[in-house]
A and B are shown apart, each in its own frame.
Chain A
């Protein structure tokens, strides 16, 4: 869990970095969204006995697992303590309750099983691990060698630079400006560079697949971000979206499930589409206007420079006069005035500073919202689920009357959710009629409820079973009878009992 939190924090920081150096909002938000933890499929025991696949955010799987663990932790079989049993297997709670020393049988079995599987895997492991190691080392050496070649081999080096230039060129439309950073001939071949990069990517992939760690993915993402920040460039959206879907896939828990992959990919695609529609990034018209103004400015500056050069050396005073007589509309001051006018125009086009700050703040807020928002339903659901599970745990409580009470309340909640409630009437006065003979069974169970709620004596185990049986039956009948709206509501209720 700790590792995951750190990983997630890194993702978040990277996402924020992307925003600080934004010049293409749309793509950035897509990136941030693809950084969200993907959903993972969880197989769980459904309410009505069948196994089901549900989607759950990976970060929240911990709670589900802990619940499963807790269920497995159930005392199960216990037996009387015999001299020689290890002390740590004594079920202290139960022992205290029954006033005799009891030892967990199940725990013992489990450890025995574990030892067995361990022994089996150990016999298999040496051969497997050595092969793994060999492949790993091979991959690593290929990676390093390719990297070395990329820097040392002149053609590869040049090709790499040309490749980058082409990439920058490709991102021109998005970034609105691009220039040749590296000084290489225009038609340098990039084949070597591409080949080496592909080899590097392949070996990296094999390494990460073998090691099963997600750290390389993080490393590459960090590298990408730093690269972009350093060069002040963003790749065009058509590169970024697949790139980050790739990262999102990478972050998936292996082995990949087809459904999980589809889910992640469609999630990224949907998010990028939405974001591109809502916030399509740099406005091309503004950018073009600013470009033309800038062109005119440089022209003006050049012409101004030309005039000052032509003027005599001691003409400083005349220049002051020029500036002073500007307002009067002196013909001689015209170029200077035009320069100023164009400057004002440029300021108008490129907007005041505070707007930019506002934009950054807005973007940060939006980022935060986008990062947090998808989680909220799950956080809320999770809390609901936890509460529901707590209520459900009471069904097996040692105190039978407490359990019957909880079971009945649960049943009432189901009945009311499907419109079979009876308001403020005491349950004894309810005439629930959802199936033949059901009212009779309900009345019988209602007696149990009253006993559980209002009596002070102990109740018997079979009374719990009776209540439980009726609860199951109620749920089944209601499920069968519900229309699609109610079914959705029931499904939601059911999903709470993971």
Chain B
């Protein structure tokens, strides 16, 4: 029963998300700022992928292609918003 209720895939996904959160904590230690940001990006994106692929069953519906295109488009809009704004307001490309 326990085995039936706790499939290994879900347990592995849960443990990996906990581990990834713990790994992200190394940015509180002393190291170059660039490596810290790189670590945060990698752990956050990996965690999001675990949720999306494993728990949200994105690959199993018959219109998964449309779902992938929709999410890719949303991410495109989001990333352009974030990095376009940083480009103008923070990194000061105009100066």
Say whether A associates with B. no
